[in-house]
Amino acid sequence: MAEAAAVRRAEAAELSALARMLARAFHDDPVTSWACRSEELRPRVLERLFRMRIRHLHAHGELWTTDGLVSAAVWAPPGHWRTTTSQDLAYASCLLHPRLVLRMPLVLRGLLGIEEIHPEQPPHWYLAILGTDPAEQGHGLGSAMMGPILEECDRDGVAAYLESSKERNVAFYGRHGFRVTGEHRLPRGPRVWPMWRDPR
């Protein structure tokens, strides 16, 4: 696969372009659609949210992409997956719009609930975001993006964790060694599937 050979760590100057790509990738995601029901506002909200999130996680150096910036995997290393209060407030600020503000408490409760079910131990890598531009999906890029860290997990004997927000993606992650450990429903919203991977 040509793109797989180009998998590399993203540079700081590329974060804005990656945020725009991820906003497109997650436009129809059940969780993002629940958090921002307005199709008109969602691209702007998601771009701001992803820009903040990947900037925070880029500091750990584990944001992987392609030369064309059409796919990305954003990982938090062991012990660094939990968000801080200031980060939570920054993410909440993305919903500061008259058409969204009334929904903010519900959304925050739901997103914090996802973090509460995140296992504390054993130490593990956390796949916070995996997304591919809709025009490039179906070509194996998602698998390629996960490759470097999953290889490191297997080499070092470290587990990995993620939450799948689409039921159809559960089988995809299963092919990479992840297994469903439960099911979590957001308040008045969709289901999320936590998934764990033991090192091979």
Burial of 112 (0-12, 13-18, 19+ CB in 10 A): exposed
When mean pLDDT is compared across 41-50, 88-97, 162-171, the lowest value belongs to 88-97
Query: Could you give the percent of the chain with pLDDT greater than 70?
Result: 98
Range of the domain at 95: 4-197
Q: Give the sign of the dihedral formed by CA 27, CA 80, CA 111, CA 52.
A: negative
**Residue 111, both tokens:** 């997103």
Cα 192 to Cα 2, 34, 84, 119, distances in angstroms: 32, 12, 22, 15
The pLDDT, as a whole number, for residue 193 is 97
The pLDDT, as a whole number, for residue 8 is 96
How many domains does the chain fold into? 1
Confidence (pTM): 0.91
| Interval 92-100 mean pLDDT | 75
| Interval 71-87 mean pLDDT | 91
CATH assignment of the domain containing 137 = 3.40.630.30
Pick 108 or 98 by higher pLDDT.
108
The confidence band for 4, taking pLDDT boundaries of 50, 70 and 90, is very low
Predicted confidence (pLDDT) per residue in 140-195, tens digit: 999 999 999 999 999 999 999 999 999 999 999 999 999 999 999 999 999 999 99
The pLDDT, as a whole number, for residue 85 is 82
